[in-house]
Structure 1
Amino acid sequence: MFVRDRGHRPSRGGTRPLPDQRELVAAFGGQASDPVTDHPLIDWARALATLHRQRHRDPLGAAGIDCRRAELVAAIDAWVATKLPRRRYTEQLRARSLGATVDRMAAAHVHASHLLHTAEKVSDDRVHAAWYRLASLADEWTDLIVDV
């Protein structure tokens, strides 16, 4: 579904640094993960997408939902700060907030899925634009993690 994939795969003999864009998109859609290769970011990504869906269904609960989203974004950023090796490229990752990037991707996925299921025509320009936005964010994610 997404254009670029730079071949990010789990490393042998250790915990892989970050999940790739396909794993995140699958998590946003609620796909079950493999407990052997699961990553904490997958659980947080799934939770962020769930919160975005809740926010869509319950706009009056937005304040509490947004508070929880901010907590998850902070948890992701804290994990990045403590788990990734200190190298020049990780400083760039920390500066860009991976948590905020995952949150934007979750929001884009929820929005695109909603449009896909509710639009009168799948060929609607809004549906295309929403999926294009998600693909752009997925490319941004890949660009952020490619050197990790």
Structure 2
Amino acid sequence: MRYARHSPMVPGRDMLLAAFRGLPHDDHPMLEVAGELAQLHEMRERTPVHEMAKLDRRRAQLVRGIDRWVTLAMPVPGTAALMHTETVGQIVDRLARMTSQAFVPLSQAPEAVFYDAWVQLNELADTYQDLVDELRDGTRRLPESG
């Protein structure tokens, strides 16, 4: 992942959701990572338990990379900024997992089950967008990345 102070802004929810599904997107480091996270979550569903550690290490690397990129791309928050409970990378990873679960295994599920998963995914995507907007405004800060 490339890091630069003058990188493009953090992508919005719709671009991120499209990247999870492998749809074409702008050349943006977070969108590339988002697509890889979704692929890792899909692979995780088919991977034996004793082989998951390698996938999880890669996911952790990608999450930390997102967090470093966001730290460099966003303005320094104000002193009164409230602490969020998760990092952007952690939310992106959860969104990647939810997307892979909603669009692959649940595609054959009853409509009500698919709809419920889609509602949860949309709510988390809104949380992501709200956090990005608050970070951009300097009214929210992030916990230390793990």
- If the length of structure 2 is used for normalisation, what is the TM-score? 0.78
Match of 2:116 in 1: 129
Q: Deviations over 1:90-127 (max 9, x none)?
A: x65776310000000000100000234232x3x2x321
Structure 1 outlier segments of 4+, above 6 Å: none
State, as a whole percentage, how many aligned pairs show the same letter: 36
Number of paired residues? 128
**Given the alignment of the two structures, is residue 59 of structure 1 paired with residue 51 of structure 2, yes or no?**
no
Q: Which stretch shows the higher mean deviation, 97-106 or 129-138?
A: 129-138
Give the whole-Å Cα distance in 2 for the aligned partners of 1:41 and 1:93: 22
Matches within 5 A, 1:132-143: 132-143=119-130
Please tell me the root mean square deviation across aligned C-alpha atoms, in Å: 2.1
Match of 1:40 in 2: 29
Match of 2:23 in 1: 31
Match of 2:13 in 1: 21
Which of the numbers 78, 91, 99 marks the counterpart of 1:109?
99
Letter paired with 1:96: E
Letter paired with 1:73: V
CA change 1:146–1:82 in 2 (3 A) is closer
Structure 2, gaps ≥5 residues long: 1-5, 137-146
